[in-house]
Structure 1
Amino acid sequence: MSAKALFVYDENEVAYKFNDSHPFNQQRLVLTVDLLRKAKALSGDSLIRPMPADETQLCSVHSQEYVNAVKALSADQPTDEWMHQAGKYGLDTEDTPFFPGMHEATSILVGGSIRAVDAVLGGEAGHALHLGGGLHHAMPHKGAGFCVYNDAAVAIAHAKSKYGVRVLYIDTDVHHGDGVQWSFYTDPDTCTFSIHETGKYLFPGTGAVNERGDGTGFGTTINVPMEPFTEDESWLECFEEVLVKTAAQFKPDLIVSQHGCDAHAYDPLAHIHCSMEIYRAMPRIIHRLAHEHCQGRWVALGGGGYDIWRVVPRAWSLLWLEMSEHPLLRQLEQNPEMALPADWVAKWRPHYGEALPTTWLDAVHTWDPIPRRREITEKNRHTKEIASLYLA
């Protein structure tokens, strides 16, 4: 093994763009990479580039019919026939509208997640991060939730077919990881764990605690739906307790984690009230479990995150600091008020137009307290107990 961690990135990944007003904005990749470089935490020898996924790889999860539709709707001017059929494939919605070059742009994202799997299971590195990935809502026959192809599911299928491994998939996005769950719902060798805001109030409306898998895959689906306005302490309590039991029972060969950072209080598309602390703590927990259960083999992907200025760059940078075991983490433990690189803040503040955070973590002591904290915590603990019901 030649490296602790590798960072999969290609500037062309920003081509995954629905339109100028869409909340899914891959400019967050540029912001994150720039923050890491200005923090002197991302060296050139850590970077590897993806190759686009090929059709065989895409069809390990998606139907040939759907791939054909994505290709046809990727033209600069799709035919009227294909435009009329776009709704059949979920590609005519406000959330997931077709766009020119869609197939090519998404194939690179899928290829990046496959490249991360190969880096880890091929022995190049112990860990690999692909922030362009994490498109966890796409279904075998349909796009959904800003996701055209499901790179996470394809990467897992690739890991299983090429290397014969048991995969634990961990989804920390505030939205339920439905596309990955349903792709492996009957598979006893893939365990999907998702912590998210309850689907009672949020897209995609699934991820109930009683969704546990089916057939020989029963027990390998774990969902931990959290109440709106959940805060750091309750979120992390439920995440760690259920995940530790899940990993111990399932005994994975590889962990694939999805790191949507939209459970932050600033995120505009959800109702969870967590701070940057969960984005420091969750990678640390996953990192520990990777070394406890699968010889450190860990692939991490991006995901949701719609406050691209104040939240995503910090959260994803903390993930890379953990994966690469960078000394900045120790400094942050000693000084929780440690400042972000001043040149990063100065560079991007004019583009945002408002004050950017100046520290890695949030000053939560200045935030207004959440009403009903006790009731929310108690409800989450009840959910945690149900989620743990069949776990040793």
Structure 2
Amino acid sequence: MDPVRLDLTARLARELGLLDAPGVVVAGAGVAPDALLETVHDREYVTAVRRVSADPRLVDLQRGLGTEDDPVFAGMHETAARVVAATVDSADAVWSGECTHAVNVAGGLHHAMRDRASGFCVYNDVSAAIQRLLDAGARRVAYVDVDVHHGDGVEAAFWNDPRVLTVSVHESGRTLFPGTGWPADVGGPDAQGGAANVALPAGTGDAGWLRAVHAVAVPLVRAFEPQVLVTQHGCDSHFLDPLAHLAVSVDAQRAVAATLHDLAHEVCDGRWVATGGGGYELVDVVPRSWAHLLGVAAHAPVAPVVPVPPDWTAHVAALLGRPGPARMTDGADARWQPWEAGCDPASVVDQAVLATRRAVFPLHGLDPWFD
């Protein structure tokens, strides 16, 4: 979670001309007030974060504050609350019509729970943004999470809320934190079908990952007919990521950003709030993946063959003493076989996809084999 990944992303996006593209506004964010944080977090938890933020010696392990994943540091509350404000501001801007798309690459902190920190996440900016949309009058919000880790905090926040659909496409909990997100997890008693989880086997590459997104997330969002699409684009599914075991390319991540952008235009008049998330290969992966996301959102997509700007690579060399990537591509063709072409019962990826479709699709009036 080194902040250098955000600096390098912003620098790359600027060097590519994305932040100066027509219609693009780069907005700052303040520190979210406690009242906003408490729409998705317990007051006692917010107080605890404030306490350890003021004095990092006061760890609170019961609330996940001071663990290896979530070490405490001075200013922790203000830093995490600013991320929340940025994503909520993005949701406000999209819902009000101020803009059609909004992106906060610092956001996507999807593991934070109502009463505790988890998995590098202190406050859950995505849950706060979805709750703000609901409070503002949205009747249906769809959330698609393509981070390599299960989007457990957002799912938990809206587990029994029929107004929210959460879809998570992630590496199986058998091999990766947080060990949750199974096909049978379909939502609470009042929101059956409100959650969908694709637990992919370790080693899944572009073809399987893209097939899963298109075979589960896309048809479910279409069936749900949301008024706003919220997405989380953790890029730790990449084959170079040091913390996970999928084998996805930047090219496939770019393709999914484009797919979800197009889906927002198809189902909810373009209203799209996108965030970053995980991603721990700080030079070769995160900046390129999220620059592609920003390009898609700005309606100025970056062609994969575009060279990485030399000023950016020079900055990387001076800052980190290593070379950066040469182009905006991994050289992958990012192809996949549509589900409609047939299911292979011997494929472990297809087994994972079919398990989710069987569990969730009938709850939306869809046929798990054909829709």
Compute the TM-score of the two structures, normalised by the length of structure 2. Answer: 0.91
Q: Secondary structure at the match of 2:161?
A: coil
Q: Residue 315 of structure 2 is aligned with which of 347, 359, 365? A: 347
1:68-217 alignment runs, 5 A limit: 68-76=47-55, 78=57, 82-83=58-59, 86-217=60-191
Note if contact 1:230-1:376 (Cα within 8 Å) is conserved in structure 2.
Answer: no
Deviations 1:321-371 (A, max 9, x none): 111111x53xx2xxx433111221122123333332101010349xxxxxx
Q: Residue 61 of structure 1 is aligned with which of 25, 37, 40? A: 40
Whole-angstrom CA distance in 2 between matches of 1:187 and 1:377: 36
Whole-angstrom CA distance in 2 between matches of 1:377 and 1:220: 29
Note if contact 1:309-1:352 (Cα within 8 Å) is conserved in structure 2.
Answer: no
Q: Residue 51 of structure 1 is aligned with which of 9, 26, 30? A: 30
1:226-237 alignment runs, 5 A limit: 226-237=200-211
Deviations 1:155-189 (A, max 9, x none): 11111012333110111110100000111111111
Give me the identity figure in percent.
Answer: 39
Note if contact 2:103-2:294 (Cα within 8 Å) is conserved in structure 1.
Answer: yes
Kindly indicate whether residue 10 of structure 2 is the aligned counterpart of residue 42 of structure 1: no
Q: Secondary structure at the match of 2:306?
A: coil
RMSD after superposition: 1.8
Q: CA deviation at 1:218?
A: 1.1
Q: Residue 385 of structure 1 is aligned with which of 337, 343, 354? A: 354
Q: Residue 9 of structure 2 is aligned with which of 10, 18, 32? A: 32
Aligned residue pairs total: 350
Whole-angstrom CA distance in 1 between matches of 2:152 and 2:320: 32
Deviations 1:306-328 (A, max 9, x none): 011110000000001111111x5
Counterpart in the other structure of 1:265: 239
Q: Residue 338 of structure 1 is aligned with which of 306, 329, 333? A: 306
Q: Which of structure 1's runs of 4+ aligned residues deviate more than 6 A? A: none
Counterpart in the other structure of 1:372: none
- Unmatched segments (≥5 aa) in structure 1: 1-23, 366-374
Counterpart in the other structure of 2:263: 289
Note if contact 1:41-1:321 (Cα within 8 Å) is conserved in structure 2.
Answer: yes
Whole-angstrom CA distance in 1 between matches of 2:271 and 2:93: 10
Whole-angstrom CA distance in 1 between matches of 2:265 and 2:346: 30
Note if contact 1:254-1:294 (Cα within 8 Å) is conserved in structure 2.
Answer: yes
Q: CA deviation at 1:245?
A: 1.4
Note if contact 1:340-1:358 (Cα within 8 Å) is conserved in structure 2.
Answer: yes
Counterpart in the other structure of 2:326: 358
Kindly indicate whether residue 303 of structure 2 is the aligned counterpart of residue 324 of structure 1: no
- Unmatched segments (≥5 aa) in structure 2: 334-343, 367-371
Whole-angstrom CA distance in 1 between matches of 2:242 and 2:6: 18
Note if contact 1:76-1:101 (Cα within 8 Å) is conserved in structure 2.
Answer: no
Whole-angstrom CA distance in 2 between matches of 1:242 and 1:352: 40
